């Protein structure tokens, strides 16, 4: 069973710039690196004798004060917010676990084959598809369900979809190297690399553990290797910036004594919230039971879907079912682990995410965003960035026209140097100028 879970999260999005001038017609190639589970303060608390790989990123580019993830502050919803600019209620990936009552199907981060079903993903086109349609040769490494085809068959040129990997950085080192090589030698202009080692260790051992510290150091070594590869190939051009602080611990809440299988169809998710579809006319009774639940006390808010507060942006989608229970700040809902739970069971963990981060609550859910490169302003500390804004930064970086989204380009405008063109008229791209590479390292850290 989970015990004493610590709460944290951070999205690091670092952009590395390589040679290439602003006056160039074509934007420099872009590498986006998503480091899952990198809480916003890890680079400080696990700094040890220094983390030159990270520090080079955030010391040489533009950085957000912090990034507010979308609610729920979990992996799949936020991965998809990053690449669509939409809140989960609009892009449809509303949790790591989803119950589609109409189709009687379950989406689960633990069942990646089932999660590949295009039906889950049909609400919003991801950035890599827009990029592919726009003529960018795109390569994705362990990044979400990049293998889901769009419009009857559009896929990125290279896709190795998400899977759970061994907790070492071998994949990361290899993927960084392959990404750089593909850009230099194979005509790619967009590479998106995901790695989950820090997230994995954070869940198992907790954010302050020596295992997380080791994972941060190993990740730093992989980043240093990336920097070296770029430098050896004459593909770099940088400048500096820095990081943040925060940490918290949560009390756990047990909702099981207040749920009855005869009344409840499913209990979906755990942690920051649960979604409870009830058996037809029993909604009022279940609401009342949860509101009076002695093992939960005053530490949750129980909402009818239609009454979920606006700042959460979590009520518009049909997959959000009728009762939404959200833990108050400082609390988490223990995995129910009943026959009707989704997931049915959950392993033990020392850290987690998914909590309500609206209105300044649970600041450990915050993430970071760094950007370094020829397009990015050196030494700039931008303000607070919402997760939905990051999509606009990605589109602007490669001069693609974003789809309509919930983010605001103005919130990330400070990241860019004056004179960076807004959008390329010619989206067809020939050869990539060799010494022109830009990388975004984005680490979504949720623990
Ligand atoms: Zn996680």
CATH number of the domain at 285, please. 3.30.1360.180
- My answer on whether 50 and 79 are in the same domain is yes
Residue-number span of the structural domain to which 332 is assigned:
251-348
* pLDDT tier at 239, thresholds 50, 70, 90: very low
- My answer on whether 151 and 167 are in the same domain is yes
* pLDDT tier at 16, thresholds 50, 70, 90: very low
Flag whether pLDDT at 404 surpasses 80: yes
Cα dist. 392→322, 324, 343, 404, 413 in Å?
32, 30, 33, 10, 9
- My answer on whether 334 and 367 are in the same domain is no
- My answer on whether 35 and 92 are in the same domain is yes
- My answer on whether 160 and 285 are in the same domain is no
pLDDT at 326: 96
Determine the distance separating the centroid of ligand 1 and the alpha carbon of 8, expressed in angstroms: 10
* pLDDT tier at 25, thresholds 50, 70, 90: low
Residue 40 DSSP code:
T
Identify the domain boundary among 324, 348, 372.
Answer: 348
- My answer on whether 175 and 304 are in the same domain is no
Determine the distance separating the centroid of ligand 1 and the alpha carbon of 197, expressed in angstroms: 10
Determine the distance separating the centroid of ligand 1 and the alpha carbon of 447, expressed in angstroms: 6
**Helix and strand numbers, DSSP H then E, in the chain:** 11, 22
Could you report the per-residue pLDDT of 213-227, keeping only the tens digit for each? 999 999 999 999 998
Tell me, yes or no, whether 3 lies in a domain. Answer: no
Tell me, yes or no, whether 437 lies in a domain. Answer: yes
- My answer on whether 368 and 326 are in the same domain is no
Determine the distance separating the centroid of ligand 1 and the alpha carbon of 432, expressed in angstroms: 35
Q: Distance between CA atoms of 279 and 146, rounded to whole angstroms?
A: 36
Determine the distance separating the centroid of ligand 1 and the alpha carbon of 264, expressed in angstroms: 27
Strand order across the 273-276 sheet: 300-304, 323-327, 273-276, 267-268, 341-342
Determine the distance separating the centroid of ligand 1 and the alpha carbon of 11, expressed in angstroms: 12
What is the Cα Rg of the chain in Å?
A: 21
Determine the distance separating the centroid of ligand 1 and the alpha carbon of 144, expressed in angstroms: 13
First to last CA, the chain: 16
Determine the distance separating the centroid of ligand 1 and the alpha carbon of 74, expressed in angstroms: 7
Determine the distance separating the centroid of ligand 1 and the alpha carbon of 289, expressed in angstroms: 30
Determine the distance separating the centroid of ligand 1 and the alpha carbon of 6, expressed in angstroms: 12
- My answer on whether 231 and 255 are in the same domain is no
Determine the distance separating the centroid of ligand 1 and the alpha carbon of 208, expressed in angstroms: 15
User: Is beta strand 370-371 parallel, antiparallel or unpaired with respect to 62-63?
Assistant: antiparallel
Determine the distance separating the centroid of ligand 1 and the alpha carbon of 186, expressed in angstroms: 33
- My answer on whether 198 and 296 are in the same domain is no
- Kindly report the length of the chain: 447
- My answer on whether 341 and 415 are in the same domain is no
- My answer on whether 175 and 286 are in the same domain is no
Determine the distance separating the centroid of ligand 1 and the alpha carbon of 191, expressed in angstroms: 22
Of 11 and 142, the structure prediction assigns the larger pLDDT to 142
Determine the distance separating the centroid of ligand 1 and the alpha carbon of 100, expressed in angstroms: 23
pLDDT at 237: 56
Give the domain CATH number at 90. 3.40.720.10
* pLDDT tier at 102, thresholds 50, 70, 90: very high
- My answer on whether 388 and 278 are in the same domain is no
Q: Distance between CA atoms of 251 and 329, rounded to whole angstroms?
A: 9
* pTM (predicted TM-score): 0.83
Flag whether pLDDT at 398 surpasses 50: yes
Identify the domain boundary among 301, 316, 348.
Answer: 348
Identify the domain boundary among 303, 325, 348.
Answer: 348
Flag whether pLDDT at 380 surpasses 70: yes
List of long-range contacts for 260-265, beta carbons under 8 Å, 24+ apart:
260/289, 261/338, 261/339, 261/340, 263/289, 264/340, 265/99, 265/101, 265/340
């Amino acid at each position: 069973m989970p015990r004493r879970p610590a709460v944290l999260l951070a999205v690091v999005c670092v952009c590395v710039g390589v040679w290439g001038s602003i006056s160039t017609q074509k934007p420099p190639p872009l590498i986006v690196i998503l480091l899952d589970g990198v809480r916003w303060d890890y680079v400080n608390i696990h700094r040890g004798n220094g983390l030159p790989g990270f520090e080079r990123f955030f010391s040489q580019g533009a950085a957000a004060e912090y990034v507010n993830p979308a609610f729920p502050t979990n992996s799949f919803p936020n991965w998809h917010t990053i690449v669509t600019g939409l809140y989960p209620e609009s892009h449809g990936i509303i949790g790591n676990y989803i119950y589609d009552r109409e189709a009687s199907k379950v989406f689960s981060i633990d069942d990646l084959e089932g999660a590949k079903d295009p039906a889950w993903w049909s609400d919003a086109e991801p950035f890599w598809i827009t990029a592919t349609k726009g003529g960018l040769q795109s390569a994705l490494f362990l990044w979400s369900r990049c293998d889901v085809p769009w419009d009857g068959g559009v896929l990125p040129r290279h896709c190795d979809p998400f899977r759970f990997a061994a907790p070492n950085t071998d994949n990361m080192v290899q993927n960084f190297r392959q990404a750089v090589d593909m850009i230099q030698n194979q005509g790619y202009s967009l590479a998106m690399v995901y790695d989950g080692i820090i997230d994995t260790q954070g869940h198992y051992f907790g954010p302050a553990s020596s295992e997380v510290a080791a994972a941060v150091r190993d990740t730093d070594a992989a980043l240093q290797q990336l920097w070296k590869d770029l430098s050896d190939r004459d593909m770099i051009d940088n400048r500096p910036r820095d990081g943040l602080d925060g940490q918290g611990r949560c009390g756990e809440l047990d909702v099981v004594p207040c749920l009855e299988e005869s009344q409840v169809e499913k209990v979906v998710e755990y942690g920051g919230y649960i979604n409870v579809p009830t058996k037809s006319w029993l909604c009022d009774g279940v609401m009342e039971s949860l509101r009076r639940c002695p093992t939960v006390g005053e530490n949750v808010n129980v909402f009818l879907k239609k009454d979920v507060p606006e700042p959460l942006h979590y009520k518009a989608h049909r997959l959000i079912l009728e009762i939404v229970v959200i833990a108050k700040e400082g609390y988490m809902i223990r995995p129910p682990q009943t026959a009707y739970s989704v997931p049915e069971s959950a392993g033990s963990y020392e850290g987690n995410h998914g909590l309500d981060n609206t209105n300044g609550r649970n600041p450990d859910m915050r993430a970071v965003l760094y950007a370094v490169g020829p397009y990015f302003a050196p030494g700039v500390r931008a303000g607070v960035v919402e997760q939905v804004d990051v999509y606009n930064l990605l589109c602007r970086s490669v001069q693609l026209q974003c789809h309509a989204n919930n983010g605001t380009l103005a919130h990330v405008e400070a990241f860019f140097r004056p004179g960076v063109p807004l959008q390329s008229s010619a989206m067809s791209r020939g050869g990539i100028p060799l010494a022109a590479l830009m990388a975004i390292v984005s680490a979504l850290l949720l623990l």
